[in-house]
Amino acid sequence: MAKISPSILSADFANLERDIHDIEKNGGDWVHVDVMDGLFVPNISIGIPVVKALRPVTALPLDVHLMIDRPIRYVEQFVKAGADWLTIHVESDTEENTLAALRKIRELGCKPSISLKPGTPAKAAEPFLKECDMILIMTVEPGFGGQKFMADMMPKLKELRTVLDHVNPQCILEVDGGVDGNTCALCKENGAEVLVAGSAYFKAQDRAAFVKTVQA
């Protein structure tokens, strides 16, 4: 069964505790937290104080996605704030710093993950695969919610699953961007085990039913 990680980027920021409890009530598995710095991506969202504030209000894993420049500067602070999974982008720093950041995340007791933008080939992930517990494939350009799903990312997803089965079979695949009640099936067919849904979840007339559709 797939997991769903609703993204609070589409939640009501004035009522985040309420909306996270709603995720719990409707059977969500994780809480996806999109962190943007206005440099690596053109938008600015939330940061370390919000993650720290969210940690006491839910027992669900906090799936923190750092869309920031040179994340090695902040990974320790995000882990200490309460992240359970911490994803950094391969495009955001040098290979050396990315490897160091992933190792630091694990040393601090958090699960390390990398993410690939749509224009980044699967091969770019290869230096990091043995250091990760998860790979996040973006199926939209990172930075804004509500974008259209990019089905042409599915070959990349499938390729990474094949490679991981040889080098790190325990590593799971997550998809983020345009996931809804229809596109989730395509993602799962191509190897996705965790699906991030923002606007599709929060705009669903029956959120519990949407969660079950994605998990099925």
Tell the burial category of 141 from Cβ atoms under 10 Å away from its Cβ (0-12, 13-18, 19+): middle
pLDDT for position 121: 98
Token pair recorded at residue 127: 């230096």
pLDDT for position 131: 98
pLDDT in tens, the chain (216 residues): 999 999 999 999 999 999 999 999 999 999 999 999 999 999 999 999 999 999 999 999 999 999 999 999 999 999 999 999 999 999 999 999 999 999 999 999 999 999 999 999 999 999 999 999 999 999 999 877 677 899 999 999 999 999 999 999 999 999 999 999 999 999 999 999 999 999 999 999 999 999 999 999
d(CA 157, CA 54): 31
pLDDT for position 147: 78
Measured CA distances, 167 to 15, 17, 129, 172, 202 (Å) = 42, 39, 7, 12, 36
Q: Give the start-end residues of each E strand in 16-61.
A: 31-36
CB 215 within 8 A of CB 187: no
CB 194 within 8 A of CB 173: yes
Catalytic positions are: 34, 176
